[in-house]
Structure 1
Amino acid sequence: MMRAGLIGCGRIGCEFDDDAARIGIYTHAAAYRAAEGVSLHALADADPAKLAKAAERYGIPAERCYASADAMLAAGGLDLISIAAPDRFHADLALKAMATPGVRGVLLEKPLALSLDEGRAVVAAAQARGIALAVNYSRRFCPAHARVRAALDSGELGRVQTVTGFYGKGVRHNGSHWLDLLRHFFGPLASVQAWPSRAAAFEGDPSPDLRIVLASGLVAHLQASNHLDYSLFEMDIVAEHGRVQLLESGHRVIWQRVADSPYYAGYRLPQLAEVDESGMRDLLLHAVQDLRDAVLAVRVPRCSGEDGLAALQAAEAACRSLQSGQAEALP
């Protein structure tokens, strides 16, 4: 049985369990309790109220609840570490977790870090120590999204014409989710150009509009929305044989197939074929299961540290482009 320690008892760490009836296993804590072969062993959070609530909910005794990540890591006895702390702490906590004797796997919330130097240091540490490092770009663990990837890979949709979408709440914090999904579906990104938008920044993280050119030549456009008004995360894939829309943050996927127009003779239109409402249930459970399996099989997790670094590189290129006014190339 692998023992897991959780750093951060906020929303994605624990509190989304209040919505479990609608979204399933969507927290790190619940995932470690549900996955076979692992157990939630310890908790750490600087907020005493959050820590106490989580301890009661998951039955963690007081001697295994810590007011700091350092104290939890110093106590040892952990195989897996989840980091669900605020973005600014990700890199430092990941480095400390991977330096802890006995730790074999780390599941890190996105983004990987807030700078490329930090991100590269985290990935290098995982490689040097042989630790399975996973970054929770959660849509990679969604069966409904996997179906979209399969349709693209098989050629079922034909030649992709364009990809557009919306995001909000910072290009690093949430925009990197979209950039990772774009890369997951369509391959490496070649360049990013950014323009100021009317959307609010998030904790100093800007929310620009983007034009992304992929290595394949495909061009995608990502528009920012103001998260202070409401949440909006969408991707619209327009292809030769149809159209796929990932709506409501990915909980609903609309499939359209090209067919003869019901209105005008001689015209063809994308027409509704299916609404997939299987949603994004149990995504953290899938992520924890994948981390467990990666540790046991000594393989790379489904969303690796390198994937997290690639998403961060794209987000950082967007921030540089805001300053330069030019498209910024990606490695």
Structure 2
Amino acid sequence: MSYQLSAVVIGCGFVAGGYDQEPIPGVIQTHAMAYQTSSDVTLMAVADADSKKAESFAKRWDVAEVYDDVQEMLTVVQPDLVSICSPDETHEDYLRLCLATPSVMGVWCEKPLSLLPKGCEALVEAFQKAGKVLLVNFQRNFTPAYKALKSDLVSGAYGEIQKVVVHYTKGIIHNGSHAMDLLIDWFGVPDDLRVLSAKVDYKVTDPTVDALLMFDAMPVYFLGFNENDYSIFELHVYTETSILSLTESGQILRIRKVKDKSTASGHKELERLSDQNMGLDMAMLDALNSLVDAVKDRGSLVDGKRALAGLKITHQLAEMGMKRIECES
């Protein structure tokens, strides 16, 4: 099926278009730049409660129509695709508006689906029942390099996985959710959760926790660090033959593999292979292409279920962390 899709953007902040205000060649960081680059989609309109911000956005991205009311925009424009880039607390309401708009075939929503998991399950099911695509923008899962890594891990290309360690800051929900989405995509939903310690470096309701999660017999450790000291997001996979480290916020995959020959004393050593760029510079376009493919081909419906599962787990960990802080204070 080949035809042009129409799109609108709700919210005109940084991830909508601001990060690409002064574009960097070969880098796409926003919804607007992804739409502008795509040959499959035309960005028709934008909406923001701040009309001056919306007008400035429309001028920068050559968008014809500007609204300060989302319902009016959806009714008048009748878009095929909707990007939700508004504040977190508005996401659930705007998802419901998209669900009620007959023309909307796909929604590209920034995380989270909602501030609370309650009510989201019915919403995700409603999208699936209506045949509408719901893509939550955990970008890493959409790049070819991350898809290849998942295939290698699941197929056992590096041998049996012994454990995974995640390093992160700034809240188990806010930043830990990025790692959680990857882990659920790779290994499914964990069957046991334990919080080992907790601190507040972001929000009281979103502590940064040290936690142990069990995926069958495989342990995954979340180690939280203080955002006030430095920012970090790394994920390390330890297998029987290799250590695979996603560093620099997941931009780089660094692989260390057991050498073919042991040392004179019989010890096995790791040798560092060449680093691999994971393609995050183009992840926004990869995400949009995934949305377009799902809308046009209907081959594999993106339904938001993984994002919902991650939302539930990170909220459960946050609640456990808050209780631990309360008990220790």
TM-score (norm 1): 0.90
Counterpart residue number, 2:327 = none
* AA at the equivalent of 1:191: D
Counterpart residue number, 2:253 = 253
Contact 2:173 2:318 in 1 (8 A): no
Mapping for residues 1-331 of structure 1, pairs under 5 Å: 1-18=4-21, 20-21=23-24, 24-61=27-64, 64-202=65-203, 204-214=205-215, 216-259=216-259, 265-301=265-301, 304-322=303-321
* AA at the equivalent of 1:67: D
Shift of 1:278: 4.5
**Inter-partner Cα distance in structure 1 for 2:11 and 2:226:** 26
Shift of 1:199: 4.4
User: What is the RMSD of the two structures over their aligned residues, measured on CA atoms?
Assistant: 2.1
Over 3 Å counting, the alpha-carbon distance change for 1:240 and 1:31 in structure 2 is: same
Over 3 Å counting, the alpha-carbon distance change for 1:73 and 1:226 in structure 2 is: farther
Counterpart residue number, 1:328 = none
Q: Deviations over 1:283-305 (max 9, x none)?
A: 11111111111111224445x31
Contact 2:158 2:242 in 1 (8 A): yes
Contact 1:192 1:321 in 2 (8 A): no
Contact 1:110 1:136 in 2 (8 A): yes
Which segments of 5 or more consecutive residues in structure 1 lack a partner in the other structure? 326-331
1:198 counterpart SS class: strand
Runs of 4 or more consecutive aligned structure 1 residues displaced over 4 Å after TM superposition: 260-264
Contact 1:23 1:280 in 2 (8 A): no
**Inter-partner Cα distance in structure 1 for 2:232 and 2:285:** 24
For these two proteins, the number of residue pairs brought into alignment is 321
Q: Deviations over 1:43-87 (max 9, x none)?
A: 1122344323311111113xx111232332232321111111122
**Inter-partner Cα distance in structure 2 for 1:190 and 1:14:** 39
1:128 counterpart SS class: helix
TM-score (norm 2): 0.90
* AA at the equivalent of 2:110: E
* AA at the equivalent of 2:10: I
**Inter-partner Cα distance in structure 2 for 1:169 and 1:67:** 32
2:259 counterpart SS class: strand
Contact 1:144 1:280 in 2 (8 A): no
* AA at the equivalent of 1:13: A
Over 3 Å counting, the alpha-carbon distance change for 1:185 and 1:23 in structure 2 is: farther
**Inter-partner Cα distance in structure 2 for 1:313 and 1:78:** 30
Contact 1:168 1:207 in 2 (8 A): yes
Contact 2:6 2:43 in 1 (8 A): yes
Contact 1:25 1:281 in 2 (8 A): yes
